[in-house]
Amino acid sequence: MAADSSAAVVLSEPAPGIRVATLNRPGVRNAMTEELTRAWDQAVDTVAADRATRVLIVTGHGSSFCAGADLSWLDQGSADDITIDRLRERMLPFYRSWLRPRSLPFPVIAAVNGPTIGAGVCLALACDIRYASPQAVFSTPFVHRGTHGGMGATWLLPEAIGPTRARDMLYTGREVAADLALHWGLVTDVADDVLTHSLEVADRIAQAAPIALRLTKTGIEQSAAGLEAAIQWEALAQPVTMTTADLHEGIAAFRENRPPKFTGR
């Protein structure tokens, strides 16, 4: 089925097991409007329900990756709607929608094709791996817009680049260019054609054993609790993979000097 190029989020499958979700509202620099958020949730639901998915790439259409949250509704709502309790009720589902890459069972790659601002940075940070084009810049200017950071910014940034550099970005709102983002570890690599580069990496990931891959993603999340939590998880997850047909295929392929053909069984 051909992708609907007019959709707010365009889903495509350039290769078996690889899905691409393209934020497709370049006129607003792919800002997280209500329309885009609904389309994003639908796209993620579709990808998550497809057991054949082994890796997802998230990118933006046009010159920007994502301009962050669209807060224009603040000026349009009534005073009764703009209370702390009601704003909190609105923020939490919004955060959780865009942070869903973190909880997907397979790896997610952010192909950052251009500027990414505020909550857009958090979307990129929610992905497992990030690649940037030379045109990409990263900025978290929350306090210079008069608001506190949201969508996990105060956790995701320190996790990725350490507390000192996270403070720098959050306090100053400075634009971090692609080469500095690479130096800081905000991205893994910079590529002229970031989507093509991401597809090449995705192809490599898609060749891995699906069960082992999914358990590894969970294991990395578990490791945040410390070494003991990590080895407790590994002592369960590794035996699980040792009972799969994929393990025997992996060993046979290694001995026969050929690429393995994993089936997820």
> pLDDT at residue 75 above 70?
no
* Dist CA 139 CA 141 (whole Å): 6
Q: How far is CA 138 from CA 68, 125, 185, in A?
A: 11, 11, 12
Q: Indicate whether 109 and 236 sit together in one domain.
A: no
Long-range CB contacts for residues 159-165, cutoff 8 Å, separation at least 24: 159/125, 160/125, 160/185, 160/186, 161/185, 161/186
> pLDDT at residue 183 above 50?
yes
Pick from 118, 131, 125: nearest CA to 100: 125
Q: Indicate whether 158 and 232 sit together in one domain.
A: no
- Whether residue 100 is contained in a domain is answered as yes
> How large is the average pLDDT for residues 224-246?
95
pLDDT value at residue 72: 77
Strand partners, 66: 116
> pLDDT at residue 1 above 50?
no
- Whether residue 218 is contained in a domain is answered as yes
Q: Indicate whether 141 and 30 sit together in one domain.
A: yes
Whole-model pTM: value is 0.94
The CATH number that applies at residue 13 is: 3.90.226.10
Domain region containing 238: 210-255
CA-based torsion, 248, 254, 258, 261: positive or negative: positive
- Whether residue 4 is contained in a domain is answered as no
pLDDT digits (tens, 9 = 90+) for 114-151: 999 999 999 999 999 999 999 999 999 999 999 999 99
Q: Indicate whether 128 and 100 sit together in one domain.
A: yes
Q: Indicate whether 201 and 214 sit together in one domain.
A: no
pLDDT digits (tens, 9 = 90+) for 40-59: 999 999 999 999 999 999 99
